[in-house]
């Protein structure tokens, strides 16, 4: 979670931008920014933070927006999903993080992320809704774990994709800025990990890696399970990540 001071600094910076864009006084812009984050006004945000024994950043509402089109019926539209996070989209998703579950996305401002579907599918509306929920879960995963999307192969043994774990499916590469370490998330369908448990033990021993199953809905959805793996003995605390994810399971499940 971001600190209280950092949160207020962000609110003030955003308020200055709003004041310039809308040509209004700074105190009015501060109230507008605070209202967008769920407070009555900026004074209300300060008051509530001061009365918290363990102050955390106010909740930010991030709007995910996905355009869709049905190639047969010619119907089209825009699906939206509002996600409550502890920090703005511009902090969570820097330009170099727009890959993996956020490939092709565009962060319009601190409260809006535009997603993109490549090509047309007959069930575009349903696909758009699923894509929104998948992105929402990935944002929650990033906020809880501190992991950020990466394109590096350093999450694999010897940085070689061919050394991926036996249970691997729907791989996603991550970087942990706090420890400067790389982590792989993999989301196999149920039963795959159980069938390959002995193979995973051999793989971990051979490459000096470790893995942990996350007791939380996966990001990919479709009933898949969620595992994290990284180099054994690294400073990444995957057990703590697993506990935090279990305590705050990823929401926005597929219907």
Q: Looking at residue 53, what is its pLDDT? A: 44
Q: Looking at residue 2, what is its pLDDT? A: 34
Nearest to 147 by CA among 229, 61, 58, 63: 229
CA–CA distances in Å: residue 107 to residues 12, 116, 249, 255: 20, 11, 25, 26
Q: Looking at residue 48, what is its pLDDT? A: 67
In DSSP terms, 227 is beta-bridged to 186, 213
Q: Looking at residue 139, what is its pLDDT? A: 94
Enclosing H/E stretch for 231: strand 226-231
The answer to whether 14 touches 34, Cβ cutoff 8 Å, is no
Q: Looking at residue 198, what is its pLDDT? A: 96
Report the largest interatomic distance among the alpha carbons of the chain, rounded to a whole angstrom.
65
pTM to 2 decimal places: 0.75
In DSSP terms, 186 is beta-bridged to 227
Q: Looking at residue 108, what is its pLDDT? A: 87
pLDDT tens digit at each of 255 positions of the chain: 333 333 566 677 777 888 888 888 888 888 887 777 777 777 777 766 655 544 444 467 888 988 888 878 888 888 888 888 888 888 888 898 998 899 888 898 888 888 876 554 556 788 888 889 999 999 999 999 999 999 999 999 999 999 999 999 999 999 999 999 999 999 999 999 999 999 999 999 999 999 999 998 999 999 999 999 999 999 999 999 999 999 888 988 886
Q: Looking at residue 16, what is its pLDDT? A: 81
Nearest to 132 by CA among 114, 108, 110: 114
């Amino acid at each position: 979670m971001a600190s209280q001071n950092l949160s207020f600094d962000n609110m003030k910076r955003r308020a200055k931008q709003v004041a310039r864009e809308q040509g209004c006084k700074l105190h009015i812009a501060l109230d507008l920014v605070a209202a967008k984050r769920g407070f009555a006004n900026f004074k209300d945000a300060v008051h509530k933070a001061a009365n918290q024994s363990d102050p955390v950043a106010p909740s930010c509402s991030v709007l995910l927006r996905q355009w869709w089109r049905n190639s047969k019926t010619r119907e089209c539209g825009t699906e939206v999903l509002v996600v409550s996070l502890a920090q703005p989209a511009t902090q969570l998703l820097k330009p170099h993080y727009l890959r993996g579950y956020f490939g092709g996305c565009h962060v319009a401002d601190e409260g809006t992320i535009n997603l993109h579907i490549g090509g047309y599918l007959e069930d575009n509306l349903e696909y758009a809704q699923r894509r929104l929920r998948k992105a929402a879960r990935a944002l929650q995963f990033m906020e809880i774990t501190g992991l950020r999307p990466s394109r590096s192969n350093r999450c694999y043994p010897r940085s070689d994709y061919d050394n991926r774990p036996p249970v691997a499916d729907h791989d996603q590469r991550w970087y942990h800025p706090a420890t400067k370490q790389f982590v792989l998330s993999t989301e196999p369908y149920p039963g795959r990990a159980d069938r390959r448990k002995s193979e995973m033990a051999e793989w971990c021993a051979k490459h000096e890696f470790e893995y942990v199953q996350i007791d939380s809905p996966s990001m990919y959805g479709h009933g898949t399970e969620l595992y994290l793996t990284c180099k054994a003995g690294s400073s990444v605390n995957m057990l703590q990540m697993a506990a935090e994810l279990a305590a705050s399971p990823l929401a926005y499940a597929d219907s």
